[in-house]
Every structure is written in C-alpha cells, then in structure tokens.
Amino acid sequence: MERAGLAAAEVAHDLLIDARKPVVVLAGPGNNGGDAFVVARHLKQRWHRVQLVFTGERAKLAADAVAAMDAWKAADGDTLVELPEDGLQRSGLIVDGLFGIGLERPLSGRYAELVAAMNASRVPVLALDIPSGLSADSGRVLGCAVRALHTVTFIALKPGLLTLDGPDHCGRLHVRDLGLRPPELLPARGWTIGSKVVSTVLPRRALNSHKGTFGSIGIVGGASGMTGAALLAGRAALKLGSGRVYIGFLTPDALALDPSQPELMLRHAEDVLTMEALACLVLGPGLSQSNEAIRCVERALAIEIPLVIDADALNLIGADSRLQESCRARSAATVMTPHPVEAARMSGRSVADIQNDRVGAASWLAQRYRATIVLKGVGTIVATADGHYHVNTSGNPALASAGMGDVLSGLLGALIGQGASTTLATCAAVHLHGLAADRLRAQLGGPVGITASEVIEAARAILNTGIYAPSIV
C-alpha cells in the first residue's frame, strides 16, 4: 500500500499543472481508500494543498488501510466526509480512490453520486488501479464508472483496462510494478499485443526469392451480392505479401477479372477448394448461408492446411454440430474471427454474456473448437486452445465500418501463408489492422469515413516499415 500510494502520488504530482489549486482525494471504504490516504500524505509532504474525502468507516477498514489513515492524520491531514463546499470544479486534480479491482456489485446511492460529480467536474481525474465502477476482469461498467484522464495501475495491467468499456474510462495508463517483478511471482496467462510484433512476424525477404516463396492463398466466399467481401480479403492478402491469391466465388455470375486488382486470380469456389499446394485458406467473406455454402464449409474443414474462418462460415459452424466436430477434429491450424454476435451463436450464449466476459468467452471458444479465436471489438482478444490469451492495444472507431473484418481475414491469410506461426501471425494481423486505422486517423484528423480499402494500403506501408526499419511507432 505504501509503494502503491507513493507511485500514484508521483504521477499525480507530474499531472498538476497549477500548484495553486487543491487536489481532491476521494478515499473509499476498502484498500483502494487506503492507497488514497497514502497518496494524500505524499502530496501534502510535497506542499500540495490536499482535501481528502473519506467515504467509509474506520472500524471496517483492513489493518493496512487503518495504518494509512493514521499516518495521514499524523501528518496533520484533515479528513472530510463530504465533498468540499466549493465543489470539485476549483480543484486542479481529482484522485479517484473509491473502489479498486475487487468491486463486483453495481455502484448506486452515494457512490453513484460521487462518480457523477467527478465526471461532471471537467477536472482531470487520476484513478487508482482502475476507475471506480469498472470491472477489472471484463471492462464492464458496474452501474456507472469514473471517466478518468489517467489511471495508475499497480503490479500489472488488468484485462478490464484494455477491453470493452475500459479504454473509454481509463484514459492514459501508467503501470507501476512496485518493485515486485510480477513475472517472477506468477506466470502470466495473458499479454498485451504491442507494435513490436509487426517487426518480428516475418523475416526480411531474401534477394533469391520468387512468388512461390511467399505462399499461395485461397479465399472462398463472395456469394451473389457479396462479392466485394471476398475481393477485399483477396486484395488484403495480395498487398500484405502473398505470392499468389485465388478467390473462389460461390455466385455463378462472378467476375472474371477484378479491374482494380487484376493480379487476383478469380475462380469458382469448387476450383479453389480442390487446389493443391495452397499455404492457407480463408473461408467466409461474403459466403452466405446457402446449401452450397454449407458444402464449401464441409470441404474446407476437411483440407489439412491452415484455415482462417470468418463471417457466415462461423454462423454455419455454430448452428451445426457436425461441422463443429469436424472443426475440433482438424490437425492443421484453425483461426476463427468472430465478432460478439457470431461468438454468441457459436457458443449458444447471449451477446451480453460474451461482452460481460470477453476474455473468458474467447478462451472457452478456443478450447471448444480447438482453434485460435479472435474475438473482435475494443481490445480484441486473441485466445489459444492452451488457455493463454492476448489483448490488442491498437485500433479506433474507424474500424466500425463495412469490410473491415474481410480485410483482417486477408491479412491473417497472408501472414500465415508466408510461414509465420499461427499465434504470432494472428497477433500481428490484429495489431497491424488496428495500427493501420490509427495511422489513418492521425493523417485525416479523425476516424470518420475511413474505408476498409484504405486500411489495406496503410497496413502494407506499416508492415514494410516494420520489417525493413525495425523502429516502428
């Protein structure tokens, strides 16, 4: 508690722009409140004017929190039981120490009012460990939650800071391990996906290369009225380095040529499914749920090459126990990329259940289907069948538009087809997809109107930069 409070006080000190304004510290009824007392004491010792509001009862505090409270009083600190008379608006910083990672029930009553007051104050908020009202495991808002500008989290990151509602509430994250060296104390089950993965997913290309070196990729989908989905996946695979890309359409009146990308080889789905020497098959973009689509899924699951499954192929498998068993029986790598609605269909649960425990849902699906699962959304989860998971840290609302999932499938197929391991390729594709959207948002000044086709171009530029100039942002 002493280490946590000192670490948070140092962050708070750096955030205070106008030292003439007071710091309001809200200390809750548990150990998070104990941390807040320590923060208040250290800030006071640095000559900041501190107003501490304690919302709990001394008799119910744990021993460490009582010691922190007594140390605050010994430092001549005053303790309030209500917000300052002049409110929060005149303060330079608010420290949220109401509730930490142990919160499980929705906030209500007085605590909901305090959260509302912080959010309405327009004063920067620094949350301790996690914004009050946010689930540390899932990122779900429990009734209401503080919207912090900064969060200093202790020992290690928590999944709830990175997925679902977490990124909208935690602001900028500051991780302080308190000198404990967490990996030596407990082996991690989950990791974040950072930009380094982009520069390590593929080796530099040898001068003595040819198109066969970089894999032949098959894309199966593009039923009538949905050929664009398969084309987007194919263009993404081509521009992310695949040596050859074949697109197999379901529709009998499919294009003979993609005028915008004539390098793509367009076929009927049956032709692609019977090809030999494919390095990876992408199944699902624009597939539909017709009887012919079901036959395509049956055929694809029987082919022992790496398989990326997306869109309607996921829905068909989720509704058919035979296809589920075929998926589990595969010996080659399988990657499945559901959004929350598709994940709900695949698991027989509600969308709310999926979103309320994204890490748990993705991990359950990975074990059920013996596949690598990409549960898309804010803080996309990559879960593997061995019980490990990764949380992506790139991306923005630009990705909430048509065709983005098709592009991700193409990126995945390209990286796997060029020889990257399944987990590394999946993490790299997910992060690269988000990173491309982040670059476009920065270039265009916002996320509105960015298209899937633009993401392909940005991803290609980033991948080239990552491989040939390792110091990417």
Condensed to tens digits (0 to 9), the pLDDT of residues 125-161 reads 999 999 999 999 999 999 999 999 999 999 999 999 9
Q: What percent of the chain shows pLDDT beyond 90? A: 92
Question: Which pairing describes strands 372-375 and 381-383: parallel, antiparallel, or unpaired?
Answer: antiparallel
What integer is the mean pLDDT of 39-60?
A: 96
Q: Which two tokens stand for residue 54?
A: 């304690």
What local confidence, expressed as pLDDT, does residue 450 receive? Answer: 97
> Above 60 in pLDDT, residue 117?
yes
- Domain membership of residue 110 (yes or no) is yes
201 and 179, same structural domain? no
Q: Could you tell me the residue range of the domain that residue 137 belongs to? A: 2-188
> Above 60 in pLDDT, residue 472?
no
181: confidence class by pLDDT, cuts 50, 70, 90: confident
97 and 219, same structural domain? no
218 and 165, same structural domain? no
201 and 184, same structural domain? no
- Domain membership of residue 113 (yes or no) is yes
What local confidence, expressed as pLDDT, does residue 471 receive? Answer: 42
269: confidence class by pLDDT, cuts 50, 70, 90: very high
Whichever domain contains 169, its CATH number is 3.40.50.10260
Can you give the pTM of this predicted structure? 0.94
- Domain membership of residue 463 (yes or no) is yes
470: confidence class by pLDDT, cuts 50, 70, 90: very low
> Above 80 in pLDDT, residue 206?
yes
Edge-to-edge strands of the sheet including 389-392? 190-193, 389-392, 381-383, 372-375, 334-336, 307-309, 280-283, 216-221, 244-249, 265-268
What integer is the mean pLDDT of 268-285?
A: 96
118 and 52, same structural domain? yes
Kindly report, residue by residue over 397-415, the tens digit of the pLDDT.
Answer: 999 999 999 999 999 999 9
Count of domains for the chain: 2
Average pLDDT value over all residues in the chain: 95
Whichever domain contains 272, its CATH number is 3.40.1190.20
What local confidence, expressed as pLDDT, does residue 409 receive? Answer: 98
43 and 148, same structural domain? yes
* CB 359 within 8 Å of CB 137: yes
**Domain ends where: 137, 158, 188?**
188
168 and 222, same structural domain? no
Which amino acid is located at 330 in the chain?
A: R
**Domain ends where: 188, 204, 233?**
188
226 and 149, same structural domain? no
- Domain membership of residue 318 (yes or no) is yes
- Domain membership of residue 473 (yes or no) is no
What integer is the mean pLDDT of 416-434?
A: 97
> Above 90 in pLDDT, residue 246?
yes
92 and 41, same structural domain? yes
Q: Distances in Å between the alpha carbon of 355 and those of 96, 99, 406?
A: 26, 22, 22
- Domain membership of residue 301 (yes or no) is yes
What integer is the mean pLDDT of 422-445?
A: 97
**Domain ends where: 167, 188, 209?**
188
Phi, psi of 393 (to 5 degrees): -115, 5
Nearest-angstrom CA–CA distance, 100 and 74: 25
* CB 99 within 8 Å of CB 132: yes
Lowest mean pLDDT among 76-80, 312-316, 468-472: 468-472
DSSP 203: P
187: confidence class by pLDDT, cuts 50, 70, 90: confident
What local confidence, expressed as pLDDT, does residue 469 receive? Answer: 53
258 and 180, same structural domain? no
What integer is the mean pLDDT of 446-466?
A: 96
Q: Which two tokens stand for residue 362?
A: 């993705």
Q: Please provide the DSSP assignment of 1-43 as one string.
A: -HHHHHHHHHHHHHH-S-TTSPEEEEE-SSHHHHHHHHHHHHH
- Domain membership of residue 36 (yes or no) is yes
- Domain membership of residue 261 (yes or no) is yes
Phi, psi of 436 (to 5 degrees): -60, -40
Lowest mean pLDDT among 12-21, 222-231, 439-448: 12-21
Please give the span between the terminal C-alpha atoms of the chain, in angstroms, as a whole number: 34
253: confidence class by pLDDT, cuts 50, 70, 90: confident
226 and 179, same structural domain? no
418 and 388, same structural domain? yes
Per 3-state DSSP, the chain is made up of helix, strand and coil in percentages (nearest 5) of 45, 15, 40
